């Protein structure tokens, strides 16, 4: 088992444009991504930060790629990923998250998420392992039903559960 990378893939009954918006726009992320939002809209080559609903920091990094899905071409959103919501995780080097969004048929989109560069970040590796499953499932549920999954934990609970 590699401690360097997690790979996830999911199909969502929504258009690539809708999925792209859910990944890159705070109006959506607030609803399914632990209430986090971008401080400023993400832009290629720029530093970004996400915060929780109460303003506490969540994640920061750099947007390396930001190519929306256009005319049948897959979209790619690549960001470095440095955790700020936990003191121990904050000490680890950043990872890299790559989202690929592509049409998989009429009204169907395939989302592939790769969280890599975690070889020197064992606490982050453990913390995000199941966290991404919940995020992707909640985004899918939101886009398909209009409601995200019910919130069951806060960041502190997620970190604590990953350590046990």
Euclidean distance between the first and the last CA atom of the chain, given in angstroms as a whole number: 19
pTM confidence score: 0.90
Say yes or no to pLDDT of 160 above 80: no
DSSP 68: -
The structural domains of the chain, with segments of one domain joined by +, span 18-96+104-109+121-163
Q: Which two tokens stand for residue 64?
A: 């390396």
Please say whether the structural domain 18-96+104-109+121-163 has been given the CATH code 2.60.40.
Answer: no
Phi/psi for 158 (5° steps) reads: -65, -45
The answer to whether the CB of 146 falls within 8 A of the CB of 50 is no
Q: pLDDT > 90: what percent of the chain?
A: 87
Give 54-90 pLDDT, tens digit per residue.
Answer: 999 999 999 999 999 998 899 999 999 999 999 999 9
Between 10-14, 66-70, 102-106, 125-129, the lowest mean confidence (pLDDT) is in 125-129
Sequence length of the chain is: 164
Mean pLDDT over residues 119-125, rounded? 93
The answer to whether the CB of 6 falls within 8 A of the CB of 132 is yes
Between 75-79, 97-101, 156-160, the lowest mean confidence (pLDDT) is in 156-160
Question: pLDDT confidence of 18, banded at 50, 70, 90?
Answer: very high
Q: What number of other Cβ atoms are within 10 A of residue 71's Cβ?
A: 4
* Helix 122-145 and helix 155-163, axial crossing angle in degrees, nearest 10: 130
Say yes or no to pLDDT of 95 above 80: yes
């Amino acid at each position: 088992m590699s401690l360097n990378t997690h790979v996830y893939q999911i199909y969502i009954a929504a258009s690539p444009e809708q999925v792209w918006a859910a990944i890159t726009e705070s109006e959506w992320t607030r609803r399914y991504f632990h209430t986090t939002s971008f401080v400023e809209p993400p832009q290629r080559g720029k530093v970004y930060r996400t915060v929780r609903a109460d303003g506490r920091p969540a994640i920061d990094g750099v947007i390396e790629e930001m190519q929306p899905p256009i005319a049948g071409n897959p979209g790619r959103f690549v960001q470095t990923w440095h955790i700020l919501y936990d003191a121990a995780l904050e000490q680890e080097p950043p990872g890299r998250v790559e989202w690929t969004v592509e049409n998989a048929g009429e009204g169907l989109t395939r989302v592939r998420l790769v969280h890599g560069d975690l070889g020197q970040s064992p606490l982050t590796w453990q913390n995000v392992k199941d966290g991404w499953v919940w995020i992707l499932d909640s985004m899918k549920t939101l886009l398909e039903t209009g409601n995200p999954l019910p919130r069951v934990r806060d960041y502190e609970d997620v970190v604590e559960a990953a350590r046990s």
